[in-house]
Amino acid sequence: MNNDNILTQVFEKLNVYLKKDTLIDYKTPDELHNAINFSIAEKGVSESEFLALINKYLDYSVNTNHPQFLNQLYAGFNFPAFIGEIFTALANTSMYTYEVAPVATLIETEMIQLMNSYTGYKNGDGIFVSGGSNANLVALFSARNKIAPESRHQGYDKNLKLRAFINEHAHYSFSNAANIIGIGTESLIKIKADENGQMVPEALEKEINASKQRGEMPFFVAVTCATTLLGAYDPIDEIAEICKKQNIWLHADGSFGGSIVLSNKNRYLLKGLEKTDSFAWNPHKLMNIPLICSALLVKTKGTLHHNLADVDADYLFHDLNLIEDLGKKSIQCGRRVDAVKLWFAWKYFGKEGYEKRIDNLIDLAQLAEQKVLNRTNLELLAPRQSFTICFRYIPEIEVDINQFNLQLREELRKSGKSLVNYGYIGEKLAIRLVITNGEMQEKDVTLFFELLLETASVLEKKYNRIKSF
């Protein structure tokens, strides 16, 4: 194969892909197997076959850059971050030592300092990790090691009866983390949320006191900064006072909504963040950095080093004392250079540019909410709190509303016109519209509702025809 020729054609394909105006060419699994040969043969493919495979991969993948990709908690294309991703892969280094990653080490150090300046951690630290779930794991791990430092060497003593507390709508990663660090999922106590999905502080304090009366040791509380379905922010300030009084580690899971800290106008939703002990922040969500780009920030320097049980690896860490080797505070050894793409993007847009992008997302979410409220055949199922709008379509015909809305969502998805997700609020199926693409405009929100209402109208007529038989 001629690598120069392939590279030239690949970049031509990239340019074509970035101008692509389709969301997805929907195919069933069987249809995809017929379109693409997924098996690996004894001999490699030819240059033309290789280029054809690239075409097919891009043709049949979901175009998450498309303004009608409204399905996940991330979306959009970030040009400077994409360039950073390319050069990160080209340099192909790992983030354990300054020796092999000198520029990247300084970049990650700078990014952690910048992110801490937003959280208010004046003597803070942090590390880039492999996702929000991993950030939550390391936060729980750090809290355990603070309350029971001997567990690093002797293992977790079940007689301590450690207990952690989370919003009943918190991310499932906390259950996985409780399992991994050895306290078990039954040690994770879910706290009642109000009708808006926010943790109730009084319920938390009541559960903490009850836990102590049972002879248990409460050691960790996690507030959620934008829940997965409703985009709800727990009241950090009130919960921080409870944790301070009870001497409990307070973690803020900002995996989805943490980037709102960049907005002077909207960061009130994170009031009290500086009182927390740790903060999970995913720039790959609202900052539109290519997956994965996640960081765990901690309030106190030395916390992350304390997690590791006597790193003895002189074959890797040579203690040249030029600058800290970041691998000494990471539970990973090999680690991607995820900070670089964030650095490229932040350099490109600047602090002011990113603030405008976050504010734009909130403005568009407000517009979407208003469009729901203005239609008699649309019902808002929960007040909008941030970037998410949960609603449903109310058909004029007599039909199971949940089933109708599920089919409505599927018709949209398979048409390739718009991709939006759904979930349940109580027993009601809610269409979850989430605004996360920093390049979106008002016309994109308007188009979504036009497509949805048009599809719903066609679906109602279809139901009527079936009923008439």
Closest CA to 252 of 225, 218, 286, 283: 225
CA distance 270 to 234: 8
Is the previous residue joined to 292 through a cis bond, with omega within 30 degrees of 0?
yes
Mind listing the pLDDT tens digit for each residue in 296-325?
Answer: 999 999 888 877 755 555 545 556 667 788
User: Which residues 6+ apart lie within 8 Å of 417 measured at CB?
Assistant: 23, 68, 451, 455
d(CA 49, CA 41): 13
Question: Please, what is the average pLDDT of the chain?
Answer: 92
Strand partners, 294: 129
Is the pLDDT at 331 greater than 90, yes or no?
A: no
- pLDDT at residue 103 is higher than 60: yes
CA separation for the pair 53, 321 (Å, rounded): 48
Provide the whole-model pTM.
Answer: 0.93
Predicted confidence (pLDDT) per residue in 221-251, tens digit:
999 999 999 999 999 999 999 999 999 999 9
Q: Tell me: the pLDDT tens digits for 44-98?
A: 999 889 999 999 999 999 999 999 999 999 999 999 999 999 999 999 999 888 8
Burial string for 370-399 (b: 16+ CB within 10 Å, else e) reads: ebbeeeeebbbbbebbbbbbbbbbebeeeb
Report d(CA 205, CA 69) in Å as an integer: 40
Q: Give Cα 4 to chain centroid, integer Å.
A: 37
Range scoring the smallest mean pLDDT among 15-19, 199-203, 281-285, 314-318: 314-318
